[in-house]
Copies of this chain bind each other. A is one copy, B any other.
Amino acid sequence: MARLPVYLQILVDQAEAGVANISSEGLAELAGVNAAKVRKDLSYLGSYGTRGVGYEVDYLVYQIRRELGLDHDWPVVIVGAGNLGQALAGYGGFTDRGFPVAGIVDIDDDKVDTVVGGARVRPLDELPQIVAGRNVSIGVIATPPASAQDAADRLVKAGVTSILNFAPVVLSVPIGITIRKVDLAVELQILSYHEQRRATAQSGGQLHAVPNEPGRGATA
């Protein structure tokens, strides 16, 4: 379920704030969803709540981490050291949350050996060694659109089984490989769509909150 990471985020915050127990309603409020939905989601993990009391924050954090496979680190390899790739490599939010950058590669010799975010950019050819050496199973594609499919092919060949794709193209991968796509321009286009509606719905158009699309991505 795509909401578990959001709950986890909130629960960790709460734990740091010293909160020991939380009710489904409280969690729902913080996550901006319905309380029943929270209970359904959490009951999927098992019965970890106590009636009359709520959920023990620490234990819930542990269980969600376990379910998401976050009980150990998942090193990632980044393909493409352009603007986005560099930012991702330097973005502390990755390492902090269990996804250390095992390496960043680029096909451009001018970029190779430059240092970004504490990691030295390495040539594309070394991808297999990086993946094998650090047992990497997650790859991030931050290349221009034209190179994205090649990057995906190389990642799969090197043994990566999950890919996070920032390039605005639909990738084709063998069955069994999990792909998620994040297209920044698409996000903005969806916002502009709502702006557009706002502008044209001058006469009594109802404005409502628009939730993110849950569970994008696919396992081929």
Contact = CB atoms under 8 A, between A and B. Distances in A.
A191 B207 contact: no
Given A4-B193, A6-B183, A83-B117, 12 more contacts: A5-B185, A68-B189, A84-B87, A87-B87, A137-B195, A161-B198, A176-B212, A178-B194, A178-B209, A179-B209, A181-B212, A182-B184
Candidate in A30, A163, A191, A217 with the most chain B CB atoms within 10 angstroms: A191
A135 B46 CA distance: 50
A26 interface: no
A89 to B, nearest CB: 9
Contacts of A87: 83-84, 86-88
| Complex copy number for this chain | 2
A18 interface: no
Interface string A25-50: 00000111000000000000000000
A142 to B, nearest CB: 9
Interface in A198-220: 198-199, 207, 209-210, 212-220
User: How large, as a class, is the contact surface on chain A?
Assistant: 35 or more
A207 B97 contact: no
Contact of A182 (B172, B187, B195, B207): B187
A123 interface: no
A185 B67 contact: no
Interface in A154-181: 161-164, 168-170, 172, 175-176, 178-181
A188 interface: yes
A129 interface: no
Contact of A5 (B138, B190, B195): B190
Contact of A97 (B6, B182, B189, B220): B189
Given A68-B193, A195-B138, A218-B216, A94 B170 contact: no
Nearest to A216: B219
Given A9-B168, A87-B86, A184-B88, A74 B220 contact: no
Nearest to A6: B186
30 contacts: A4-B193, A6-B183, A30-B170, A68-B192, A69-B196, A74-B192, A76-B188, A83-B90, A87-B87, A93-B185, A94-B185, A97-B185, A97-B188, A98-B192, A99-B188, A138-B192, A161-B198, A162-B195, A163-B191, A164-B187, A175-B212, A176-B210, A178-B191, A178-B194, A180-B212, A182-B184, A190-B220, A215-B219, A216-B218, A217-B218
